[in-house]
Chain A
Amino acid sequence: MAVSGQEPWLDGNAGRLVRPYQVSGGRTRPAHPLNLLSLVKATGREAAPRHGPEHARILELCRRAPVPVAELAAHLRLPVAVTKVLVADLIDHGAVQTRHPGAATDPSDPIVLEALLDGLRQRL
């Protein structure tokens, strides 16, 4: 199926329309490199007075266990790009620590793959 190029972008399949974000002050590029699976964990430090309710919600979501950026975005109902900006604000403030997925993303690491295989088999 070829894309005609004539189709309007903003139709029912394109998702909801969003206004440029007040929550991130219109920023879409975070000050720290983050990806969909960057894990975010609250350090226990509260958000700053300048932060908004979305920042507080992020801290709430990742207080107990690390949560990836993609999952935070889903809970916040905010686009990933905007969520990354908010997480970066919290990194600057020392309110969260982040960790990028490491060894587990090496598809040729048999140790990780064996662990995944064992864990998945137990669910069968």
Chain B
Amino acid sequence: MACGNACDDEFPAAAKVLVAGGFGVGKTTFIGAVSEITPLSTEELITAASVGTDSLAGVAGKSTTTVAFDFGRITVDARHVLYLFGTPGQERFWFLWNELSNGALGAVVLVDTRRLTGSFEAVDFFERRGIPFLVAINEFDGAFRYEPEEVRAALRLGPDVPVVPCDARAARSATSVLVALVRHLLARAVSSRPV
């Protein structure tokens, strides 16, 4: 299929950011607040994603099952589209995180201060894979307000990981989290490049 410069203009650059965190921290809410489309729920087959089967022929007649993840979109400009993927909260579905994180620019790890440690696995996942991330404290009504430094200590975050407060329900607040993430990525990119 010939695809010259003409179709370069038709295909924008697609960037991916993950929105992760423990059960019920506000991942779907966050994606809904920033996405220009209603967050979609995309499904993956557990058999295909987890064991990489070529075919379901061997399990014909049996049922297989799916795991859903959130999906949102921000058309940043004519040439760039940012896609947001929410990770499934439950640990046993984390095999899907590998596929989701493949090629991701970075991640937003949401934390709920009522259950700080609920997002510990997400932090660990991105640290292990060297995927840059920031921590956004979702300030639920009536929840205790922690200082960012307290959250940093509780989650044992390195000094370079940004920790920012947010209201996942508010478009402006959630968008500013993405701005902080991209700033963080830029700072890393500039510092890792030879002058």
Chain A complexes with chain B:
yes
User: Which range contains the number of A residues in contact with the other chain?
Assistant: 35 or more
For A119, the chain B residues whose CB sits under 8 A away are 74, 76-77, 80, 82
- What 0/1 readout, one digit per residue, does chain A (59-87) give for beta carbons within 8 Å of chain B? 00000011010110111011111100000
Q: What is the distance, in angstroms, from B173's C-beta to the closest C-beta of chain A? A: 10
B157 cross-chain contacts in A, Cβ below 8 A:
none
Q: Is A112 an interface residue (CB 8 A)?
A: yes
Report the minimal beta-carbon distance from A58 to chain B, rounded to whole angstroms: 14
Complex: how many Å from CA A29 to CA B45?
11
Asked whether, in the complex, the Cβ of B175 is within 8 Å of the Cβ of A70, the reply is no
Q: Is B15 a contact of A101 with CB atoms below 8 Å?
A: yes
Contacts A27-B55, A94-B1, A120-B74 given; does A105 touch B105 at CB 8 Å: yes
Contact B68 A116 (CB under 8 A): no
Interface check A33, CB cutoff 8 A:
no
Chain A residues within 8 Å of B105, by CB = 104-105, 107, 113, 116
Nearest chain B CB to A43's CB is how many angstroms away?
A: 8
* Residue ID in chain B nearest A105 by CB atoms: B103
Question: Dominant SS at the B interface?
Answer: mixed
Instruction: Enumerate B33-69 residues with CB–CB distance to A below 8 Å.
Output: 40-49, 53-57, 59-68
Which residues of chain A come closer than 8 Å to B65, judged between CB atoms?
A: 9-10, 14-18
Contact with B along A1-39 (1 / 0, CB 8 A): 101000101100111111111000011110000011101
Within 8 Å CB of A102, what residues of B?
A: 13
Chain B residues with Cβ below 8 Å from A113 are: 105, 182, 185-186, 189
Residues of A within 8 A of B15 (CB): 101, 104-105, 112, 116
Assembly CA distance A102 to B53 (angstroms): 27
Also in contact, A79 and B182, with CB within 8 A (given A28-B48, A124-B175): no
A104: which of B13, B73, B91, B100 is its contact (CB, 8 Å)?
Answer: B13
Q: What's the least CB distance linking B38 to chain A, in Å?
A: 10
B103 to chain A, nearest CB (A): 4
- B3-A15 in contact (CB<8A): no
Chain B residues packing against A (C-beta within 8 Å): 1, 3, 7, 10-16, 40-49, 53-57, 59-68, 71, 73-74, 76-77, 79-80, 82-83, 85, 90-92, 99-100, 102-106, 132, 171-172, 175-176, 178-179, 182-183, 185-186, 188-190, 192-193
Q: List 10 A-B contacts (CB under 8 A).
A: A7-B92, A20-B61, A36-B99, A36-B100, A37-B103, A81-B44, A97-B3, A105-B105, A115-B80, A124-B172
